[in-house]
Amino acid sequence: AMSQRIPIFEGQVVDLGLEQVTLPNGNEVTLEVVRHPGASAVLPVHEDGTVTLVYQFRHAGGGMHYEVPAGKLDEAELPEKCARRELKEEVGLSCQKLQRLGYIHTTPGFCDELIHLFMATGLEQGEAALEDDEYLKPVRMPFSQALEMVHNGDITDAKTMLALMLAEKHLS
């Protein structure tokens, strides 16, 4: 249970604070914890077996990364709604079916962020509408190629690696 929190920084994406915590063994410790609203990520799978990823600039990640479309949850927003919104905004796709693949704790050592993973099928192409702080290009490729990029180290983004690996059993 969270007993006391001393805020250090409150930002638009994350809040950082010091939290007094009692461990299961009774030890009292002070931990640095990043609080995040959570996010959704969605793997769009086309009828021909290709997937659309985004080749996206990530300053903190050191440059360009291949990723599934994703974004953080708005206040009280359902993960499914967020997934559909990001799919539309980032790559201009809408989907008939959204299948839940699970969720991941991105970095449970210091952050409470949960990313909900989805697979989208029954896709229809429309117009994208990027945010001002986004730079990305949609890239469409065979699912097998994307999976190979996970295994050979060309894709290092965790949510993307896991979405592709979890989707594999639905697509093989």
End-to-end CA distance of the chain: 42
Among 10, 32, 134, 168, the one annotated catalytic? 134
The closest alpha carbon to 6, from 26, 21, 25, belongs to 21
Structure tokens at 40: 């959704």
- Look-up: residue for tokens 């939290």? 19
Structure tokens at 99: 């299948």
Query: Active-site residue 134, yes or no?
Result: yes
Cβ atoms 104, 116 nearer than 8 A: no
CA separation for the pair 26, 85 (Å, rounded): 44
Structure tokens at 14: 């994350």
Cβ atoms 50, 138 nearer than 8 A: no
For residue 141, CA distances in Å to 60, 148, 149 come to 26, 11, 11
* Active site residues per annotation: 134
